[in-house]
């Protein structure tokens, strides 16, 4: 058994132990049985969330871009908040803290944007 298969078996065992339900649907990518875990549908072989796209049992891989877009939105909001805070503070230490936070956010934003490009093409 390859390590991938061992990993798949382990994920399946974990999922079933935590109350996951095996569905009649199959993964559109690898044809493995899909699992319902806490209201979400997962392919444990691909280790990806799958979403139903129509009333006929049709399924499609969840687009990772959705999560990244949400992350980008969150990061942008946080940057705005830090920016507002930065305008208010006068204490050099606080300014330093906020600037460092801003730098981390900018780095995260850059990484997330790069990842999004990677997923969109």
| Nearest residue to Zn ion, by Cβ distance, number only | 27
Question: How far lies 44's CA from each of 6, 13, 65, in Å?
Answer: 12, 10, 20
Stretch that binds Zn ion, among 36-44, 51-59, 76-84, 100-108 (CB under 5 A): 36-44
Q: What's the rounded Cα separation, in Å, for the pair 98 and 87?
A: 10
Q: Toward Zn ion, which CB reaches closer, 59 or 98?
A: 59
Residue 29 as a binder of Zn ion (CB under 5 A): the answer is: yes
Q: Toward Zn ion, which CB reaches closer, 34 or 75?
A: 34
Q: Helix axis angle, 64-88 relative to 92-120, nearest 10°?
A: 160
First to last CA, the chain: 33
Q: Which of 8, 20, 27, 35 binds Zn ion (CB under 5 A)?
A: 27
Asked whether the beta carbons of 77 and 93 are under 8 A apart, the reply is no
Stretch that binds Zn ion, among 26-34, 58-66, 84-92, 107-115 (CB under 5 A): 26-34
Q: Residue holding tokens 């730098």? A: 103
Q: How far is the CB of 33 from Zn ion (least distance, A)?
A: 9
Residue 22 as a binder of Zn ion (CB under 5 A): the answer is: no
Contacts with Zn ion by CB under 5 A lie at 27, 29-30, 32, 43, 45-46
């Amino acid at each position: 058994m390859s390590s991938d298969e061992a990993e798949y078996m382990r994920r399946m065992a974990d999922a079933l132990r935590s109350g996951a339900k095996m569905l009649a649907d199959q993964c559109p990518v690898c044809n493995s049985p899909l699992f319902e875990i806490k209201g979400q549908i997962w392919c444990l072989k691909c280790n990806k969330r799958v979403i139903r796209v129509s009333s006929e049992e049709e399924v499609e891989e969840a687009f990772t871009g959705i999560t990244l877009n949400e992350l980008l939105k969150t990061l942008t909001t946080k940057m705005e908040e830090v920016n507002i805070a930065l305008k208010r503070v006068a204490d050099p230490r606080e300014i330093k803290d906020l600037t460092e936070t801003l730098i981390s956010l900018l780095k995260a934003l850059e990484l997330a944007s790069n990842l999004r490009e990677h997923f969109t093409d």
